[in-house]
Chain A
Amino acid sequence: MEYILHLIIFILIYILLAQSLSLAAGYSGLISLAHAGFYGIGAYTTALLSVNYGLPFLITLPLAMLLCGITAIIVSTISLRTVDDYFIIITLGIQVVVFSIMNNWQSLTRGPLGIPGIPALEIFGFQFNDKVSFLFLSLFFVVIVWFLLHNISRSPFGRVLIALSEDEIFTQSLGKNVYKAKIISFTISAMFAAIPGVLYAHYISYIDPTSFTINESIFILSIVIIGGMRNMWKIAGAAAFLVLLPEALRFLGMPNNVAANMRQIIYGAILIFVIFRSGEKLTPVKVSN
């Protein structure tokens, strides 16, 4: 039972990650490979603040979101000077820079040793130290983020995003500020990515840079692509599927290290399959001149 609860919590964390990315990738066409970086910034912010200064969750969460937001604004103002493929390479670069800060700035992040002893989550004296309560807390955040993203995507701003992902120049000609809309959507997406980071850090109580590598970024992006970029329910389904996949492989009797590689091989194959199947249906990033 504990094990199943653990898996559900992980699925919820990945749903949060994938849906936050779907705002940038699905709606405004900003395919980002830096999402694990923002996830990591969230986790490290809360870990450092709560371990070193004993700050409560209700303060570290907004701070983590703020830090992610500021990073995303700086990063996106720069990287949106380029288009489509180059943008993906730049986000990959951001991911590498964030990872190497986590891995190498040892006086701050303790490098590969990671940060142990992150306290359990506490809100107004109530400790979320068992799995059931943590599950409900994660579910609460999933519902909130789901609700917010649902509303954003149906707001006038969301319509601008959809329009620009379909035809950027046309949207611009309607007097919409495409550049600003992209920055805002990228920033909101990064801020939401801080939430699962914070949850993850408090849940596992130990973090190290290996949880926030480029492979993790590719994994999150795969969830979004397999989920069809914009469809919230399908993305949730894809997250559940991909998180449960290695567990299923373990039941088939594969040793752990083989299962880890097999999981990646399978999702790589699914990714190619989805690209083949959908062809033009995935919202493409249009070329701007």
Chain B
Amino acid sequence: MQFIINIFLSFSIYSLLIISFSIIYQSVKFFHFAHAITITLGAYLTLLFSIQLGFSFWFAIPLAIIGAVLISVITELSIYKPLRKIETSSWNMLIASLGLYVILQNLVSLIWGDDTKSIRTWPVKVGNEIWGAYITNVQIITIVVSIVLFIATILFLQYTSLGKQIRAVSSNSELSNIFGISSDRVILWSFIIGSALAAIAGILIALDTDMTPTMGFHIFLYAVVAMIIGGVGNYSGLIGGALLLATAQHLSAYYIDSKWMDATAYIILILFLIWKPLGFSGKRLKKIDI
């Protein structure tokens, strides 16, 4: 039972991260590596506002989310937008975002140090018991918040005007421009929404397992793996990918050792590439030239 709760916890965090990343990925079409640092920043800014500056916890969280979003908006405006204007290829953008990740992660290390930090102000206690398994309050909050946000984001993309515009730009940005949808504005919005979700995920993770400057990178890579397994742009596929990844990781942690969870994620990815290179959804991984 504990096992199922653990899987479900990872699964809900992964699905929140996947949706936050795939909003950005679909509109800009490259792997925005600095997304990993948004996750970390969400957690560290909460630390800054709540413990170091002494604001109340419920005031610190929105501030942290705003701060993390602001930084990613600045990146989009100062780096990605000019790069899009000179029409560099997507791997150039990827390298630029990797450079950005390196810069920001080291800044976090410089400011807060490399050791593990905690934003918990309450004592650690044994969680609630459900059918012989234990789950802490924080974990319940994590699961609920992640799933609610995941569903809300999908509904947002399906039914609101802005959501439809994001989907339009994702499927064909040139055509959207012709129809009067400014792709730059939509991309900016997708950065705002995606980063806010990522910052929330970062805070939830930090509440549960504390934080280090590299925490975002590992969890971000899991989300990328789950996204590729699931197939880009297919929501049920994404859920499947997150579930498969979470299950496989916890199976390997249970039967072998928890330190092999990183390797398991990638072995799954490689196995998928051998037998089902197009992901769950069967949508092509390759991009189509117009």
B is a partner of A: yes
Chain A residues in the interface with B (C-beta under 8 A): 31, 78-79, 81-86, 88-90, 92-94, 96-97, 100-101, 103-104, 214-215, 218, 221-222, 225, 258, 261-262, 264-265, 267-272, 275-276, 278-280, 282, 284-285, 287-289
> Given B82, B101, B102, B260, which contacts A267 in the complex, CB threshold below 8 Å?
B102
Give A282's nearest chain B residue, CB to CB: B92
Considering the chains assembled together, what is the distance between the CA atoms of A92 and B265 in angstroms? 12
Stretch of B106-114, B123-131, B183-191 lying at the A interface: B106-114
Residues of chain B contacted by A79 (CB below 8 angstroms): 270, 273
**Can you give 7 A-B contacts (C-beta < 8 A)?**
A96-B263, A100-B260, A104-B260, A270-B99, A271-B96, A282-B92, A284-B89
Considering the chains assembled together, what is the distance between the CA atoms of A104 and B92 in angstroms? 33
Q: What 1/0 flags go to B77-108 for Cβ under 8 Å of A?
A: 00100110011111111111011111101110
In the complex, are the beta carbons of A269 and B30 less than 8 A apart?
no
Residues of chain B contacted by A269 (CB below 8 angstroms): 99, 103
Shortest distance from the beta carbon of A37 to any chain B beta carbon, whole Å: 11
In the complex, are the beta carbons of B98 and A280 less than 8 A apart?
no
Excluding A83-B285, A86-B228, 19 further A-B contacts by CB distance (< 8 Å) are A78-B270, A82-B277, A82-B285, A85-B30, A89-B224, A96-B265, A215-B102, A218-B98, A264-B105, A265-B102, A268-B100, A271-B98, A272-B100, A275-B83, A279-B87, A280-B88, A284-B89, A287-B286, A288-B286
Per the CB 8 Å criterion, the residue count for chain B at the interface is 50
A84-B90, A90-B269, A287-B289 in contact; A275/B96 too (CB < 8 A)?
A: yes
Residues of chain A contacted by B178 (CB below 8 angstroms): none
Considering the chains assembled together, what is the distance between the CA atoms of A97 and B270 in angstroms? 11
Is B288 interfacial (CB 8 A cutoff)? Answer: yes
Residues of chain B contacted by A104 (CB below 8 angstroms): 257, 259-260, 263
A86-B285, A218-B98 in contact; A81/B277 too (CB < 8 A)?
A: yes
Shortest distance from the beta carbon of B226 to any chain A beta carbon, whole Å: 12
In the complex, are the beta carbons of A96 and B102 less than 8 A apart?
no
Considering the chains assembled together, what is the distance between the CA atoms of A268 and B104 in angstroms? 9
Shortest distance from the beta carbon of B2 to any chain A beta carbon, whole Å: 23
Considering the chains assembled together, what is the distance between the CA atoms of A284 and B90 in angstroms? 9
Residues of chain A contacted by B93 (CB below 8 angstroms): 275
Considering the chains assembled together, what is the distance between the CA atoms of A88 and B91 in angstroms? 9
Q: What 1/0 flags go to B271-289 for Cβ under 8 Å of A?
A: 0011001000000011111
In the complex, are the beta carbons of A275 and B263 less than 8 A apart?
no
Considering the chains assembled together, what is the distance between the CA atoms of A32 and B88 in angstroms? 19
A89-B224, A93-B269 in contact; A284/B99 too (CB < 8 A)?
A: no
**Interface-centre pick from A265, A267, A285 (highest chain B CB count, 10 A):** A265
Residues of chain A contacted by B269 (CB below 8 angstroms): 90, 93
Considering the chains assembled together, what is the distance between the CA atoms of A124 and B210 in angstroms? 54
Considering the chains assembled together, what is the distance between the CA atoms of A211 and B8 in angstroms? 35
Considering the chains assembled together, what is the distance between the CA atoms of A214 and B286 in angstroms? 26
Shortest distance from the beta carbon of B225 to any chain A beta carbon, whole Å: 7
Give residues of chain B (218-275) contacting chain A, Cβ–Cβ below 8 Å.
221, 224-225, 228, 257, 259-260, 262-263, 265-267, 269-270, 273-274
> Given A31, A82, A278, which contacts B273 in the complex, CB threshold below 8 Å?
A82
Considering the chains assembled together, what is the distance between the CA atoms of A100 and B90 in angstroms? 29
Is B31 interfacial (CB 8 A cutoff)? Answer: yes
Residues of chain B contacted by A261 (CB below 8 angstroms): 106-107, 109-110
Shortest distance from the beta carbon of A173 to any chain B beta carbon, whole Å: 16
In the complex, are the beta carbons of B266 and A93 less than 8 A apart?
yes
Give A101's nearest chain B residue, CB to CB: B263
> Given A84, A93, A262, A265, which contacts B91 in the complex, CB threshold below 8 Å?
A84
> Given A85, A92, A97, which contacts B267 in the complex, CB threshold below 8 Å?
A97
A88-B94, A271-B99, A276-B83 in contact; A265/B273 too (CB < 8 A)?
A: no
Give B102's nearest chain A residue, CB to CB: A268
Considering the chains assembled together, what is the distance between the CA atoms of A101 and B259 in angstroms? 10
Shortest distance from the beta carbon of B98 to any chain A beta carbon, whole Å: 6
A271-B98, A271-B99 in contact; A287/B106 too (CB < 8 A)?
A: no
A258-B110, A265-B102, A265-B107 in contact; A287/B273 too (CB < 8 A)?
A: no
Considering the chains assembled together, what is the distance between the CA atoms of A100 and B257 in angstroms? 12
Considering the chains assembled together, what is the distance between the CA atoms of A261 and B213 in angstroms? 12
Residues of chain A contacted by B277 (CB below 8 angstroms): 81-82
A93-B269, A280-B88 in contact; A268/B228 too (CB < 8 A)?
A: no
In the complex, are the beta carbons of B92 and A284 less than 8 A apart?
yes
Residues of chain B contacted by A280 (CB below 8 angstroms): 86-89
In the complex, are the beta carbons of B87 and A272 less than 8 A apart?
no
Considering the chains assembled together, what is the distance between the CA atoms of A218 and B286 in angstroms? 24
A92-B221, A279-B86 in contact; A265/B106 too (CB < 8 A)?
A: yes
